[in-house]
Each structure stands twice: as structure tokens, then as C-alpha cells.
Amino acid sequence: MEAKDLYIKPGNQERGWNDPPQFSYGLQTAAQGAPKRTPLNKRVPPPQLTGSPCPVPGDFPSATAPMTPPTNPLAPPCSMNTPPRPCPVAAPPLGGVMATPPPPFPVVEHTDSASSQSENEPDVDDVVTLLNWALTACRHTVKKQVCNDVAKRLKLFEDMWKSGKLSLPVRRRMIGLVQELKSCNWDAADEIHRALIVDHVNEVGQWMVGVKRLIAETRNLNPDLLHTQEVDQSLDTSSAGNSD
Amino acid sequence: MATYQEFIQQNEDRDGVRFSWNLWPSSRLEATRLVVPVSCLFTPLKERPDLPPVQYEPVLCSRANCKAVLNPLCQVDYRAKIWACNFCFQRNPFPPSYAGISDVNQPAELMPQFSTIEYIVQRSPPNPLIFLYVVDTCLEEEDLQALKESLQMSLSLLPPNALVGLITFGRMVQVHELSCEGIAKSYVFRGTKELSSKQIQEMLGLTNPSASGPQGRPAAPQDPAVTCRFLQPVHKVDMNLTDLLGELQRDPWPVPQGKRPLRSTGIALSIAVGLLEGTFPNTGARVMMFMGGPPTQGPGMVVGDELKTPIRSWHDITKDNARHLKKATKYYDALANRAAVNGHSIDIYACALDQTGLLEMKCLSNLTGGHIAMGDSFNTSLFKQTFQRVFSKDHNGEFRMAFGGTLEVKASRELKVSGAIGPCVSLNTKGPCISENEVGVGGTTQWKICSLSPSTTLALYFEVVNQHNAPIPQGGRGAVQFVTQYQHSNTQRRIRVTTVARNWADAQSQIQHIESSFDQEASAVIMARLGVFRAESEEGPDVLRWLDRQLIRLCQKFGQFNKDDPTSFKLSETLSLYPQFMFHLRRSPFLQVFNNSPDECSYYRHHFVRQDLTQSLIMIQPILYSYSFHGPPEPVLLDSGSILPDRILLMDTFFQLVIYHGETIAQWRKAGYQEQPEYENFKHLLVAPVDDAQEILQTRFPMPRYIDTEHGGSQARFLLSKVNPSQTHNNLYSWGQETGAPILTDDVSLQVFMDHLKKLAVSSAA
């Protein structure tokens, strides 16, 4: 899972009050089972029972909070070190204005303009070729109806790509998926399909199930079927060589 | 005491058990004088990544009414190959396969570190898991679209061999046939006509009418290919089902002005339960119901279709003005029990701005171990991620959810089982271990938990039955064994056995030792569950009075004080947090219905009586951490005095994560100092609580709300309503505390509460 695929988006504040942020599939799966960095589970007993002043158990290092009071003389000012701009501390709080806090999480904006062709722009034909390679191999043993259904969805995927309806992360990850497919890394391909459908269901929902099925059927094939003559031919006839 | 704390923690880590007392009083009379009963919190499927399951059947005691499992507490004669049951003392021969054991070659189940051990048993061919979606189509377009997408996505998250089915409902109820080819067909039912299970199965063509069995019992189903028309393997029908879901439309019946859509939730559920009953009884199955509003027609309706009649509030309920409440609750209760008997669980995903009837429907999930998720809309991250997390996997890449659980408890003869409180139903098994004093779900030593997760936790209550002044039982220890049978998500059947023991102690001579063995955290949750259980059937003020009485008695028993001198009152460290827990419990949404709708209370209580200890404590008394320039983040008193201008507070109530910026911090943030490189310290300070909150947000189920607020912000009320109001408008100038934010409330503060408690505890007129 690439670092780009570990992201957090803000929640839908229009539909749900205090909607929590949305974690990408990669972040959620990474978090499961991982030990907590700073378990927040300590409490403080009230002073009047133990008779002692409120104890302050202090050893909870956080990676980001400063360990010692800042020695940096330019820390947010108190009324002494007023920088040459209106210092809000000295004055009473601004009346009546509650500033809407900006979304606190680092929001990774996707470059959704699919039409911009950059140097590393993934080529749809590469992807389609590999998918069709797998589908051709499947046609030997898998029911015709199923193969046709898969083909229909692959076509839809191709059309959506060509008409610029798929965002860059989706296109990029599909390249990754077909690479795994080609290398027979079925679990890895499956995991990418899952990540894609969780993170981008509105773009991929209609056709991704075809890819899912393709992976499932291809992995069950006799390995010999994956390299029959007609299959290799379909790979050779692809336009603009595969980037290997 | 440090040693007991370590002991308690080690036991929880290994066995998933936390007892209220870790030294047991040896007589019934003394046990009742301890106020908090001998009881425990038990997490049957606690995650144990270090515990490999063994691939053989457990060895059982041969006595018919015992059948305890061989465990490390048993005495073993390796020469004669005989073991003595530690519960009934029966001597049992080892099975032939154990011929090679010796004291240097012990089977795992005899080793002390395997006090918890898991067996994989394969007695019959594995059954696939079943997921039956029941989907409300009376949703706004945007919501329906979001829900459809989530359902399509979930097909990729299901276990590959699982069976899946789809029922949609609105005014009518449609059961969809999931064939692999041809035109999609569905069976339509009227949303108002109640049908018996048998009728439903007949109408769906699941039985052969001419070969009906004895009266009242469904006829034998035809071969699986026919009966499974509605429940098909997901790997076969995923493409068709994706299309079917994509084509779902809003309920076509127009909704007139001033009316609610006609929603036949009751019939839809009855068909779901009946379908599963007839085709897959006693198999792990999950009904997942998605609804965007309350049931408005047919049996189980919660409110009528006139918008001018609002859905019942607490006020309506206390004034006996909730027309449909009793009938609807009874209806869903019956459905819940039928599902539980068959081992089927029911989840409710309710997303709407108004109430949806969780009060009436909660038993569907509470009795079966299913989930309840409550949100504002299906197009929110809260719903989407909560739903995704139902399918979360553990470190082995296996699903966390488990099915068809049964828990049996065995105990030494000096203990009897009073009952359990948690997401379970009684299996009504009779036996020698059952106490006549029922607590929670009692009258049995076996319960059914149709759906489990690694955090599912039951509270179990025991009664010490030894007579006063009877000698301490031979061996000095009492034991309890928990046997949990369940279906793992990989369809294997497993048995997990946990056997624990604690020493008996004579309360008259060893009361201080018993006191030091007190687990105040476990006891707080155990008593809280009792309180919540009572609150379901008793009046609110009665429950609070009961809770107060228990607290006063506990303080009288264990407090150090001079009679009639409240200022002399002290509690030892092992009890120092307990009164505070009780104070916050009294104010919590679990026992206080003020400010929460009936549905919200049902939702909060649902989660409270099934979570593990740590999460339950968070719900009772939220965690509050303070972030500042003065040092690393530290826990602070949940008190108004902790609200300071130069601090950021992170509050975790389990259902909400609140980050509150003190006045000065808020001003700095608004002025944008964090953007400037020379104020990088400040930027780090702002980010620290966000990062800590993120860790919690990433894994918690259900997904909590996330509130970023500041001094003077309207959302700050979430923090202000939880903290102890030590400074209010009433005592602002008399308290003597110079810092902290006063809270506008007439609620009693912890200080006042403690003062009253001390007065009552030391009073000789008890």
C-alpha cells in the first residue's frame, strides 16, 4: 500500500453533525492490531478522599507535544513579548465571533481532473490488455454468461477511463492491480480491489465487481491455461508495449 | 496495592476475566456484607494472538451433571493415568490418546499458562455464514444512493463463501430471488398482513405443501438448490446483486404532504426471521437491517403516518401517552426470541434525523448480540465507517465476528450462579450450580450469544453459599470455569475454556486483605450494569436511590472514620476512585434520561452492557487529558477546574471525542500563529490531541462523533455537561478556586456529593 493511499478526509458535515473524519482503507487496516502509541486510560482521584493534593502522574510522552516548556523565546506571546501586530491576549476576546476551526486533519486533495495528461499518466490500454488476458484464459472453463458479464463491466471501466470519469488514484491503483494479476499475486490484487471499492465506491461501484470476479476466477484456473497460445497472442497484440 | 493491580491486569490479559473481589469471602453472610457481590466481567473471545488453538476435542469429566473440562487446577496421577475433577472430585481415566503423558510431558490443557485454551472441533461439515440484508427504500435520494454504494462495497468485504440475501421494504416487502441468470424475480408481501413462519415459507416456495409435517412444524425443506434461491453464495451472485442493488429505487408510493412514508419494518423483519428459520436453523446468520425512519404501518409500527403526531418522547412515556409502545415492543421481543433460539443475530443500522424506534426494537439486537448503529444519514462517514468495521479482521486476516456462541459456567460447590447481564439469552438449562437469587438473566448456567466479537463482555454474578462459621473449604480455593462454544468466521467450530481460581478468606479475620483485593474498576462496571438492567424495568429515581444506598453501605464498611465526624472520613487507595465512578454514573445518559431521547438512551445502554471494562469505564466517566506548554499530556480531573485558557482538552466519552481549545489557545489559533515557522511549538501543540484522537477514531466500533470546539463555542456544551461542575453560578465566589470555568447548572457537584456521602457514611444513625 503506497503512502498516498493512507489518507484522511473530513466527514460530511452537511449531512451529519460532528461527522468524524473518514480514513482510507489502507489506514484502517494498518491500525487493526497495532498497539496504541499513547493509551489514554488514566484517571485522577479527587483530592478530598485521599487527603493528598491532586496527584499529577506525568509520564505520558507524546511524540508531538513538547516535552519541556518551550525555551523558544518566540513561543506564542504573552503580554510581554507582544509582536508588532495586535496581540489578542492583551485585549478582551473578540466579541461574538466564533471562528469555524479549519479541518484539523491533513486533507489530501485528490487531483480529480482526469483529463490532464502528465508524463507518468497511466495508459488505459496497458490495463485493459492485462485484464483481457486474464478474461481470455478464463473463457475455457468459466461459464459463458459469467465471462460476458465480466467483459461488460471491463468495457464500462474502459469507457469511464477514456471519458475522464476516473480520478488519478483510481487509475494508478488499477495499474497496480493488473500488475499483481499478471504476477499471479492473487491476494495482493484482491486487496487492491477491496481498497479501491472502499475508498472510491462512487467511481468504481458499477464495474469493480467484474474485476473482483475476474481475480477470483483466474486464481482458480489451471496455471497452464494462463499461458496458452491465444492468451499470449492477446498480450502481443497490445498497442504500445507494456512498461516492464 | 501494586501487587494486586499487577495480578488483576495479568489475569485480564490472559483470561479476559476481572473479578470484583480477588479474595472471596467464605460465607454467604459475609459476602452480602461486602455490598458488591462476588461477580466478574468476562470477555469470552478476548483477542489472544499468542494462543494457538489445539486441534483436538476437550477431555470432559465423566460425571453426568458435571462435565467440566480438564484444566490446570485438576489433580493428576500420571502413573495411573487418572485425573480428579476440581469441581466435583470425580476421578476420571484419561482417554487412550493420552497414554504418553507424564509430568515432564504434559498436555497443554494442564499447564498453568493455558488457563485459557481454545480447541478446534470438527464434528460436522462446516456451515457457511449467512448475511441477509433488509433494506428500507423510503429514503431520500442522496441517502439511498449512499446506502446502495455501501451495500455494493460490502459485497467485497464479505467472507467469500458466505451466503447473501436481499429483502427490500417500504409500503410493501420484496424478497429478491438471487438466481445467476435471467430476469430478476422477487416475491412481494403486503406490509400490513402478519403471517406465520410457516405461511411465509410456503409463500416463498420453501416447503412442499403436499408433504407438510406434523401440525405446527414446517415441512422438510426441499434440496438446497431450491431453498437457497434467496440466499446464494456471494462469489456466485456478486455481479447480479451489484446490479440489483444499483437499480434499487425509492419506494414508489407517493408520500402526501404532512405525512410520513409508510414503512413496513415489522413485516420485513418477520419475513427475514421466518426465511432464515425455515432454511438455516442453528447456523450462524446475520440479519442486517438498514432503516431511514420509524415503522409506520403494520405490526411493530412505532408511530402513525401523520407528521403532526410526533414519535413518543420520555414525557409521553411517563404520561402513558405512547400508543404503540407496548404492542410494538412485544412484537419485536417475540421476533428477537425466535431469532435467538435459532442462533441468528439482528443488526440495526438506523440513520435519520429523528427517532426511528430503537426503543421498541432494541431487543432485536440486545438479545441476539447484533449491533445497533445510529447516525443522521447514510451519506455520512459515521455510518460508512461503522458499517465497514463490522467486517474488520484481526492480525491473522480473519474476521473478528463470531457466531452461534453458547457460554456455560461451572463453579465450585461453594458458589452458585445468579445470572448474567449482557447481549445474551438464557438457554434455561437446569443444574446444581444455579442460585435462587436471580440477577439479570438468571435461572440458568448456560446462555446463548448469537453474535460475538473480541470485545463482547458479559457480567456474571455469583452467590457464595457456604454457611457462616463453616470452615474454609479444603484446598482454600474456589474455582470457576467458562466454556464458550462458537462458530469462528472461517466456519470452524471452536471451544474456548477458561478456568480461574481465587482464594477463600475468612472475612472476620482477613477483612483488610479482602479489601486490598477489591477491583474498583470492575466493580464500578458490574454495579453499573446492574443499575442499567434495573432501569429498564424500574423507575429512574428508584434506581438512583438503590445505587446511592449501595455506595453508602460500601463506604460504611470500608471507610476509615470516627463516628459522626465527616471530616475524618478516608478511603484507601483501592476504593478511592469508586465514589467518583458512582457520581458520574448517576449523571450519565445510562441512568439519566433528561436531555436524551428514548432512542438515544436505548442506543447508549445497548453499547454499555456489552463492552469490555476499559470502554465501559470510559462511558461511565469520560477520560480527560490536558495538553499544554507546561509538560507532556496528562490526565486531569473531569472537573470544571480543568478547563483553563491555555490548555487544550481531549475528552473521550466513547460516543464522542471532543477537542476543546481554551480561550487563549483559541485566540492564538484564530490569529494563525501555527502557520508561522517561529511558532512551530504551537503547531505541535495543536496537532498533539488530534493525533491521539485519531488513534482512537481509527479502530473504535462504533465510530464516535468528532467534535472540535473551543471556549465559547456552542459545541463546548459536550464538555461542559460532562465535567463535574465544581464551580457554578451558585458558588462562584464562595468556592475559593480561582481558576476554571463556571458552569451554569443546578446539578450537584462532586464535592457536595462527597460531603453528603461522608456525612451519611459516618452517621451512627445508619
Closest in A33, A36, A98 to B713, CB measured: A98
Phi, psi of B201 (to 5 degrees): -65, -35
Q: How far apart are CA B129 and CA B126, in angstroms?
A: 9
Q: Does B331 touch chain A (CB under 8 A)?
A: no
B276 by DSSP, 3-state: which? helix
**CA angle centred on A161, ends A159 and A163, rounded to 5°:** 70
Task: Assess B9–A contact: CB distance below 8 Å, yes or no.
Answer: no
What residue spans of chain A are helical by DSSP H? Answer: 25-31, 47-50, 124-138, 144-162, 168-182, 186-199, 201-204, 208-219, 229-236
Least confident of B96-105, B226-235, B277-286: B226-235
Chain A residue numbers touching B703 (CB-CB < 8 A)? 20
Query: Can you give the pLDDT at residue B744?
Result: 60
The nearest CA of chain B is from the CA of A87 a distance in Å of 9
What 8-state DSSP symbol labels residue B64? T
> How many Å lie between the alpha carbon of A50 and the closest alpha carbon of chain B?
6
C-alpha cell at B185: 424475480
Separation in Å, CA of A209 to nearest CA in chain B: 6
Question: Cα separations (Å) of A102 from A29, B158, B213, B645?
Answer: 27, 36, 67, 20
- Which of B380, B554, B753, B759 would best serve as a mutation to test chain A binding (most A beta carbons within 10 A)? B380
Kindly state whether B184 is in contact with chain A, defined as any CB-CB distance less than 8 angstroms: no
The answer to whether residue B648 neighbours chain A at the CB level (below 8 Å) is no
User: Are B92 and B61 in contact, with CB atoms under 8 Å apart?
Assistant: yes
A149 CA to chain B: closest CA distance, Å? Answer: 8
Residues in chain A within 8 Å Cβ distance of B627 = 62, 65
* pLDDT tens digits along B313-366: 999 999 999 999 999 999 999 999 999 999 999 999 999 999 999 999 999 999
Contact B242 A209 (CB under 8 A): yes
Identity of the residue in B381, B629, B686 whose CB atom sits nearest the CB atom of A69: B629
Of the listed ranges B13-22, B149-158, B736-745, the least confidently predicted one is: B736-745
* Cβ pairs bridging A and B (under 8 Å): 254
Flag whether residue B614 sits within 8 Å of chain A, measured between CB atoms. Answer: yes
Give the chain A residue whose CA is nearest to the CA of B581. Answer: A45
CB contact under 8 A, B695 and A37: yes
Rounded CA separation B323/B666 (Å): 49
Helix axes B520-535, B613-620, angle to 10 degrees: 70
Query: B313 vs chain A: nearest CA distance in angstroms?
Result: 21
- d(CA B704, CA B718) in angstroms, rounded, equals 13
Inter-chain contact A208–B696, Cβ cutoff 8 Å?
Answer: no
Task: Compute the radius of gyration of chain A from its Cα atoms.
Answer: 27
Give every CB contact of residue B422 below 8 A, 6+ residues apart in sequence: B440, B449, B456, B457, B458, B459, B529, B609, B610
Are B632 and A37 within 8 A, CB to CB?
no
Residues whose CB falls within 8 Å of the CB of residue B553, separated by 6 or more in sequence, listed in order: B35
Residue whose entry in the numeric block shows the C-alpha cell 477514531? B697
Give the pLDDT band (50/70/90) at residue B512: very high
- Phi and psi, residue B181, nearest 5°: -140, 165
Query: pLDDT at position B739, please?
Result: 52
8 Å CB contact of A16 and B712: no
Q: Contact A60/A42 with Cβ under 8 angstroms?
A: yes
B305: helix, strand or coil: coil
Does residue B560 sit at the A interface (CB-CB below 8 Å)?
A: no
Residue B332 φ then ψ, to 5°: -70, -30
H or E stretch at B12: helix B2-15
Q: Which residues contact B259 (CB under 8 A, 6 or more apart)?
A: B305, B306, B307
pLDDT digit string, tens, across residues A173-207: 999 999 999 999 999 999 999 999 999 999 999 99
pLDDT of residue B644: 94
Instruction: Please name which of B91, B92, B86, B89 lies closest in space to residue B59, comparing C-alpha atoms.
Output: B92
Find residue B125's DSSP bridge partners.
none
B684 closest CB neighbour out of A12, A42, A66: A66
**Cα dihedral across residues B552, B556, B558, B562: positive or negative:** positive
Instruction: Select the more confidently predicted residue: A179 or B395.
Output: A179
SS3 B689: helix
Cα distances (Å, whole numbers) of residue B112 to B15, B116, B196: 11, 9, 52
Q: Is the dihedral of CA B629, B635, B637, B640 positive or negative?
A: positive
> Which cell is A178 given?
493488473
Cα distance between the two ends of chain A? 20
**B217 has a pLDDT exceeding 70:** no
Mutate to test the interface with A, among B243, B617, B667 (most CBs of A within 10 A): B667
Q: Assess B389–A contact: CB distance below 8 Å, yes or no.
A: yes
Answer whether A60 sits within 8 Å of B634, measured CB to CB.
yes
DSSP B716: G
Contact state of B686 with A104 under an 8 Å Cβ cutoff: yes
The secondary structure of B541-578 as a DSSP string is HHHHHHHHHHHHHHHHHH-EEETTEEEEEE--GGGTTH
Q: In the beta sheet, which residues pair with residue B166? A: B133
Nearest by CB to residue A31, choosing from B686, B698, B709, is: B698
Min CA distance, A98 vs chain B (Å)?
Answer: 6
Instruction: Note the pLDDT of residue A41.
Output: 81
Q: What is the ipTM of this complex?
A: 0.86
**CA-CA distances (angstroms) from residue B286 to B189, B339, B346, B364, B484?**
22, 10, 6, 11, 19
Interchain contact, A60 vs B150, CB within 8 Å: no
For residues B23 and A113, what is the distance between their CA atoms, to the nearest angstrom? 67
Chain A contact set for B391 (CB, 8 A): none
Q: Rounded to the nearest 5°, which phi and psi values hold at B53?
A: -75, 150
Q: H/E element holding B33?
A: helix B28-33
A64 to B678: CB separation less than 8 angstroms, yes or no? no
Tell me how far apart the alpha carbons of residues B633 and B627 are, in angstroms, rounded to a whole number: 5
Report d(CA B31, CA B557) in Å as an integer.
12
Beta strand B130-136 pairing with B163-169? parallel
Residue A65 has pLDDT above 70, yes or no: no
| Nearest residue on chain A to B652, alpha-carbon basis | A40
Task: Residue B664: list chain A partners with CB under 8 A.
Answer: 89
Closest CB to B392 among A18, A32, A216 = A32
Query: Is the pLDDT reported for residue B731 higher than 80?
Result: no
B659 vs A contacts (CB less than 8 Å): 104
Find out whether B753 and B666 touch, Cβ atoms under 8 Å: no
Q: Are A170 and A200 in contact (CB under 8 A)?
A: yes
Rounded to a whole number, what is the distance in Å from the CA of A236 to chain B's nearest CA? 30
Yes or no, beta carbons of A194 and B696 under 8 Å apart: no
Contacts with A75 from chain B: Cβ below 8 Å? 629, 679, 681-682
Mean pLDDT of B292-313: 96
Q: Residue B407's beta-bridge partner residues?
A: B447, B484
Residue, of A93 and B458, whose pLDDT is higher = B458
Q: Report d(CA B201, CA B195) in Å as an integer.
A: 10
For the stretch A119-172, pLDDT in tens is 456 688 989 999 999 999 999 899 999 999 999 999 999 999 999 999 999 999
What's B615-672 look like in SS3?
Answer: HHHHHHCCEEEEEECCEEEEECCCEHHHCCCCCEEEEECCCEEEEEECHHHHHHHHHC
Sign, Cα dihedral of A157, A162, A168, A172: positive
User: At a CB cut-off of 8 Å and minimum separation 6, what does A89 contact?
Assistant: A77, A78, A79, B664, B667, B668
Interface test with B, best of A6, A27, A52, A64 (most B CBs within 10 A): A64
CA dihedral A136, A129, A171, A182 (to 10 degrees): 70
Say what the pTM is: 0.89
**Among candidate residues B686, B620, B695, B613, the one with its CA nearest the CA of residue B655:** B620
Strand partners, B639: B724
- Is B705 in contact with A17 (Cβ distance < 8 A)? yes
Q: Do A46 and B380 touch (CB under 8 A)?
A: no
- Residue B348's contacts (CB-CB under 8 Å, 6 or more residues apart) are B289, B291, B358, B361, B364, B365, B370, B371, B372, B373
Q: How far is A192 from chain B (nearest CA, A)?
A: 11
At A229, is the pLDDT very low, low, confident or very high (cuts 50, 70, 90)? low
Most distant CA pair in chain B, distance: 86
- Choose among A58, A76, A149: nearest Cβ to B673: A76
* Among chain B residues, CA nearest to A215: B235
B709: which chain A residues are within 8 Å (Cβ-Cβ)? 101
DSSP string, B83-111: EE-TTT--EEEPPGGGTT-BTTB--GGGS
User: Quick one: how far is CA B672 from the chain centroid?
Assistant: 43
Extract the C-alpha cell encoding A31. Answer: 491500525
Q: Are B59 and B109 in contact (CB under 8 A)?
A: yes
DSSP labels, B156-188: HHS-TT-EEEEEEESSEEEEEE--SSSS-EEEE
Arithmetic mean of pLDDT, B191-214: 77
- The string of pLDDT tens digits covering residues B583-638 is 999 989 999 888 899 999 999 999 999 999 999 999 999 999 999 998 899 999 99
B681 φ/ψ angles, rounded to the nearest 5 degrees? -55, -45
| Cα angle: B86, vertex B90, B91; to 5 degrees | 100
Query: What pLDDT, on the 0 to 100 scale, is given for residue B728?
Result: 67
Q: Please answer yes or no on whether B632 and A32 come within 8 Å at the CB atom.
A: no
- DSSP state string for A130-193: HHHHHHHHHTTTS-HHHHHHHHHHHHHHHHHHHTT-S-HHHHHHHHHHHHHHHTT-HHHHHHHH
* Binary contact (B381, A59; C-beta < 8 A): no
Residue B111 clears pLDDT 50, i.e. is over it:
yes
Average pLDDT, chain B: 91
B149 contacts on A by Cβ (under 8 Å): 201-202, 205
Which pLDDT score is estimated for B312?
A: 96
